[in-house]
Structure 1
């Protein structure tokens, strides 16, 4: 396993180790908590020497994603290097029937994937659940709105960016990961986000999870690449939001 230069994953170097915890767990453990037979990360000496300080081996984490998304024999021919992240993202989007353009930026394609996940989940919710979700992220004046208009508001919130969009991303990603890898995101230390996540213990969480229990990810590769790509997309949103917030505070 060797990291290939990848402009779409270099932002890992800007993340703290805690932020990378969930992604590392996803790459190294199956849904039942056992270590994956096909992972290579935990065998690396750099990993062994510095775990759990993931920031010190972010390239290895990126390489693990690249290799899971590649054909094993082809990886050997490339000297142990996998494929660029964008190729993996596009493959996942094709699998999930996401509408996107290959010419778009990686961030835009990830947003299309997250929007598809969001829309699929929202369509499973009752009007009451939609209103509860809207209230949880601070959307007001919703009592007279229809389910269709609420879906439109959520989509507009997501596209607008900012903290509400970040909240919405984490709510959806958290529930999806619980459904497909058996555990959600680690958000200790952020009281606002923890309160937001509390709604996932009720019907809203069941609705989002239910939308994913029927997803066919029987392929061992997809069992890794789908949750990994969803987490990378969420991490990118986190990085961009925190960068934006820091720029505002600095100015």
Structure 2
């Protein structure tokens, strides 16, 4: 998980802390807020390492039941669930294939891409049409693509038909729409408003449609309070990591 967290911006850390904050578990949210405050005040390797280590411990705790966490701790084992297991659990909950073997960063990116592609295919043709037009695709081109695809979409085909910027916009819109469904529209909008002031990349293509998508399920469909945190965290890590790859490619 560290390979993902280390490439992110302090604003990402603040967003992630906002997602996982809770009064209903034993994990120390106050500590996370204090550590992210330190990174924002002075973005040093030491402050980053302290936050990233604490956040991974927090997420691994969320991915493990209180009973199993206490058992592992009492028996001298790593108390939290392995991050790879959490990614697999999220994939199962989202009904997508488990990401292939690779680094944690590669796996969360693959999961986010697979989920967004699947959810786009499950939207009605009218919703697909509207999303593509909102992303800047001409109406005739969007209609032709939807008719030709027959409800079967793959990421390489989307990129080939349109361009990477359009596809990134599609993925961002669906990911943030899902996060809004899980943690609540008001909280997502508040956290997103914080992000866009610091990371302009998020602004491109994400509009009100993200909060009103017919994703097909709500927080009530997600089993347990922990999954209502680990799913948004994993999806956000995937799309934020993609952002950093795009940024690095543009600067190369």
TM interval, short-chain normalised: 0.7 to 0.9
> Equivalent of 1:198, from 200, 203, 207?
207
Alignment pair present for 1:237 and 2:242: yes
The residue aligned with 2:168 is 166
Per-residue CA shift, 1:163-220, capped at 9, x if unaligned? 3333222111110111001133332356674352224168xx3313xx1217632323
TM-score (norm 1): 0.73
Question: Does structure 2 retain, via aligned residues, the 8 Å contact 1:86–1:106?
Answer: yes
The residue aligned with 2:19 is 26
- SS of the aligned residue for 1:37 comes to coil
> Equivalent of 1:218, from 218, 223, 231?
223
Evaluate the alpha carbon distance shift between residue 220 and residue 166 of structure 1 in structure 2; reply closer, same or farther with a 3 A threshold: same
Q: Which runs of 5+ in 1 are unaligned?
A: 1-7, 30-34
The residue aligned with 1:73 is 70
The residue aligned with 2:30 is 42
- SS of the aligned residue for 1:61 comes to helix
CA distance in 1, matches of 2:150, 2:175: 19
TM-score (norm 2): 0.73
Question: Does structure 2 retain, via aligned residues, the 8 Å contact 1:158–1:168?
Answer: no
CA distance in 2, matches of 1:159, 1:9: 29
Shift of 1:79: 6.1
Alignment pair present for 1:14 and 2:12: no
CA distance in 2, matches of 1:158, 1:84: 33
Shift of 1:24: 1.0
The residue aligned with 2:214 is 207
The CA RMSD over aligned residues, in Å, is: 3.4
Q: Would you say how many aligned residue pairs link Structure 1 and Structure 2?
A: 231
